[in-house]
Amino acid sequence: MIEIIGPLANPAATTTSGNGEKSVPLQKQLIERLQQAILTGRLPAGSLLPSSRLLAAEMGVSRNTVVIAYEHLAAVGYVVADKKGTRVSPLSSPSARGETRTSSAAPEVAYAARVEQFAATRTHADNTLPLTPGTPALDRFPLAAWRRALERSMERALPVALGYGDPAGEPALRDAIAAHLRMARGVRCEGSQVVITEGAQEALNLCVRLFTNPGDIAWVEDPGYRGAKAAFNLGDLSMLPMPVDPEGIAVPSDAWRAHPPKLIYTSPAHQYPTGAVLSVARRLELIAQARRCGAWLIEDDYDGEFRHTGEPIASMQGLVEDAPVLYVGSFSKTMFPALRIGFVVLPRVIAAHTAVALQEMLRGGHRLEQLALAHFIDSGEFGRHLGRMRRLYRERQQALRDALTMHFAPSQILGGNCGMHLTLRLPPHISDRTLAERALARRLNPRPLSGFALQQREETNGLVIGYGSTSAEQLALAVRVLATLVREMAGESGIRSTTRRAV
């Protein structure tokens, strides 16, 4: 029996162990072991358990301990006792059918097809590890000022703000966002066009629900943002990958006629993840063609606030009057991700009409945080925080670029004039997924570029490297580790570099 249920721990006592943990009483241990063996089929239905005397001797416990354990298992139906002995009951469990399944195995559930499409490609690593793309400098967030803003909204807005709010969000926040976007991003909007959402992700989901039907065609940048693809999957859209080059999304000229889209996802200010800036010529072409075929352009301006060189690149939405653009933004980078506040700016012509649908689709909540954020923006605290972070990210970006150019060819480094990440292209013999896995084992969390691509190509082999939450000193060390890993992998593949470059 001991081979089936294993030896019991600390059979001597039920006292507290040296490390302060309380030992589990022998009786309880025995019950749990027998239950597990029955549930997993190691003790199949009908099998005869040893007599209490034999099991007690084998396990090194008192006979009374076994008797009580058997009585308990009989009381809850795991075993039945009769004159011939104690037997495992026929349970309607895998064990009863002789199947074995460990408790950690996934249950057999018929998920919706759209959920099955979320291939298990993402590693759920700690997103505060060095080099994680997209994580801002959380330790530099002005918590004291934020606490004051929260307290202020509690003092002024309670108890009314405990009830449901406007489904489109607090008017004060919608106005504050609109004023900020007009000035900082050249967006043409009023507060009435802004819908507050739970991060950019809900804004993307909302765009899908408002403007598409299942089966409609949606174009996505490839490589591109996984969150957009997830939203399109959930809407049962038919996704068409569009290549990306140094001028941003590159739409083949016949695509508009051959595969007319309903939605087009773009990140014009800083293509995610390659960092390309969408050229003005392409912006105008996209707007004109989308207007012609009745499509909506999603402009995801996730980190456009952090421009490191030259003038800020204004939004595509503001380029022409009434552009068919759904401008999506988020406070995940400018404030902090757990705030879960984002927004979509709807075109003026449809904002009023959409409000009716929003009444059914959304519930207004998180009102205190929204009011606090409105005050944070209006009081100038947000602008000051952005200014500080812009300087910090500029320095960190330079530090990462310097470190990378010590080990890799400059032509391998993509992007970098905006935001919080750079992308490093890798040669074909260095698998980005293997490199990312090995980096994670060293507690570094760059992401494989191929994980953002629907169509795997030579150019989609690389690493997306975040610098927002990593200090300049850490960046230098981390890049040295990456270069060592790359050299090791190059050695394993038989291709050695003759320069001091890693590959």
Ligand X SMILES: Cc1ncc(COP(=O)(O)O)c(C=O)c1O
Q: Which residues bind ligand X (CB under 6 A)?
A: 134, 199-201, 225, 227, 267, 272, 300, 302, 330, 332, 337, 342
Distance CA 448, CA 138 (A): 23
Alpha-carbon separation of residue 439 from 125, 129, 366 (angstroms): 11, 11, 38
Beta strands in 272-341 (DSSP E): 296-300, 325-330
Q: Which of 300, 299, 226, 288 is nearest to 256 (CA)?
A: 288
Using DSSP's 3-state secondary structure scheme, residue 296 falls into strand
**Of residues 30 and 345, the one with the C-beta less far from ligand X:** 345
* Least distance (Å) between residue 341 CB and ligand X: 8
* Least distance (Å) between residue 299 CB and ligand X: 11
Q: What angle do CA 446, 452, 457 make, to 5 degrees?
A: 105
* Least distance (Å) between residue 419 CB and ligand X: 9
Distance CA 415, CA 463 (A): 12
Neighbouring C-beta atoms of residue 42, cutoff 10 Å: 16
Give me the torsion for CA of 330, 331, 333, 338, rounded to 10°. Answer: -110
**Of residues 86 and 330, the one with the C-beta less far from ligand X:** 330
Q: Is residue 321 classed exposed, middle or buried when 0-12, 13-18 and 19+ CB atoms within 10 A define those classes?
A: exposed
* Least distance (Å) between residue 91 CB and ligand X: 44
- Paired with 265 in beta bridges are 298
* Least distance (Å) between residue 208 CB and ligand X: 14
Residue 491 C-beta-side C-alpha neighbours within 13 Å: 7
**Of residues 29 and 274, the one with the C-beta less far from ligand X:** 274
Alpha helices in 186-310 (DSSP H): 199-211, 226-234, 255-258, 280-293
Residue nearest to ligand X (CB): 199
Kindly give, in sequence order, each residue whose CB lies less than 8 Å from that of residue 368, ignoring residues fewer than 6 positions away.
150, 153, 154, 157, 158, 161
* Least distance (Å) between residue 325 CB and ligand X: 15
**Of residues 216 and 300, the one with the C-beta less far from ligand X:** 300
Phi then psi for residue 120, to 5 deg, are -80, 65
CB 106 within 8 A of CB 116: no
Beta strands in 301-362 (DSSP E): 325-330, 342-345
* Least distance (Å) between residue 197 CB and ligand X: 8
* Least distance (Å) between residue 358 CB and ligand X: 19
**Torsion over CA: 329, 335, 338, 341 (sign):** negative
**Of residues 146 and 302, the one with the C-beta less far from ligand X:** 302
Distance CA 394, CA 419 (A): 9
**Of residues 267 and 370, the one with the C-beta less far from ligand X:** 267
* Least distance (Å) between residue 97 CB and ligand X: 44
* Least distance (Å) between residue 308 CB and ligand X: 17
